[in-house]
Homo-oligomer: A and B are copies of this chain.
Amino acid sequence: MIRKNFVYVEDISQYDGKEVSIAGWVYNKRSSGKIWFLLLRDGTGIIQCVVSKKDVPEEVFELEKTLTQESSVIVKGLVHADHRAPGGYELWVRHIEPVHIAQEYPITPKEHGVDFLMDHRHLWLRSTKQHAILRVRHAVVRAIRDFFDNNGFTLIDSPIFTPSACEGTTTLFETDYFGGKAYLTQSGQLYVEAAAMAFGKVYCFGPTFRAEKSKTRRHLTEFWMVEPEVAYADLDDNMDLAEEFLEYVVQRVIREKEKELQVLERDLTMLEKVKRPFPRITYDEAVEILKKNQVAFEYGDDFGGTDETVISSAFDKPVMVHRYPAEVKAFYMKRDPQDPSKALCVDVLAPEGYGEVIGGGQREDDYDTLLQRIREHGLPEDAFQWYLDLRRYGSVPHSGFGLGIERTVAWICGLKHIRETIPFPRTIYRLYP
Which residues on A are within 8 Å of B, measured CB to CB? 1-4, 6, 8, 10, 23-26, 42-44, 70-72, 74, 99-100, 102-103, 105, 120-123, 125-126, 130-131, 134-135, 137-138, 141-142, 145, 149, 151-152, 154-163, 173-178, 180, 182, 184, 191, 194-201, 206-207, 209, 211, 213, 221-222, 224, 230-233, 236-237, 240-241, 244, 365, 383, 386-387, 389-397, 422-424, 426, 428, 431-433
Given known pairs A141-B155, A151-B1, A173-B175, the reply for A26 and B394 (CB within 8 Å) is yes
Q: How far is the CA of A137 from the CA of B199 in the complex (A)?
A: 14
Is B159 within 8 A of A426, CB to CB? Answer: yes
Cross-interface CB contact of A241 among B1, B396, B428, cutoff 8 Å:
B1
Cross-interface CB contact of A201 among B43, B120, B198, B386, cutoff 8 Å:
B43
Is B122 within 8 A of A390, CB to CB? Answer: yes
Residues of B close to A224: CB separation below 8 A: 157
CB distance from A396 to the nearest CB of B (A): 5
Q: How far is the CA of A92 from the CA of B224 in the complex (A)?
A: 45
Is A433 within 8 A of B386, CB to CB? Answer: yes
Residues of B close to A155: CB separation below 8 A: 137-138, 141-142
Report the nearest B residue to A213, measured CB to CB.
Answer: B178
Report the nearest B residue to A104, measured CB to CB.
Answer: B393
Oligomeric state, in copies: 2
Is A431 within 8 A of B125, CB to CB? Answer: no
Is A394 within 8 A of B138, CB to CB? Answer: no
Cross-interface CB contact of A149 among B142, B191, B211, cutoff 8 Å:
B142
Is B43 within 8 A of A131, CB to CB? Answer: no
List 12 A-B residue pairs with CB atoms under 8 Å apart, sorted by A's residue number: A1-B241, A42-B200, A102-B393, A103-B392, A122-B390, A125-B194, A131-B198, A134-B156, A158-B424, A160-B160, A160-B222, A163-B433
Is B43 within 8 A of A196, CB to CB? Answer: yes
Is A23 within 8 A of B198, CB to CB? Answer: no
Cross-interface CB contact of A182 among B1, B126, B232, B431, cutoff 8 Å:
B431
Residues of B close to A426: CB separation below 8 A: 159-161
Residues of B close to A213: CB separation below 8 A: 178
Is A138 within 8 A of B154, CB to CB? Answer: yes
Is A174 within 8 A of B175, CB to CB? Answer: yes
Q: How far is the CA of A149 from the CA of B43 in the complex (A)?
A: 15
Cross-interface CB contact of A423 among B195, B237, B365, cutoff 8 Å:
B195
Residues of B close to A151: CB separation below 8 A: 1-2
Residues of B close to A2: CB separation below 8 A: 151, 201, 230, 233, 237, 240-241, 244
Is A25 within 8 A of B142, CB to CB? Answer: no
Is B138 within 8 A of A3, CB to CB? Answer: no
Q: How far is the CA of A141 from the CA of B422 in the complex (A)?
A: 21
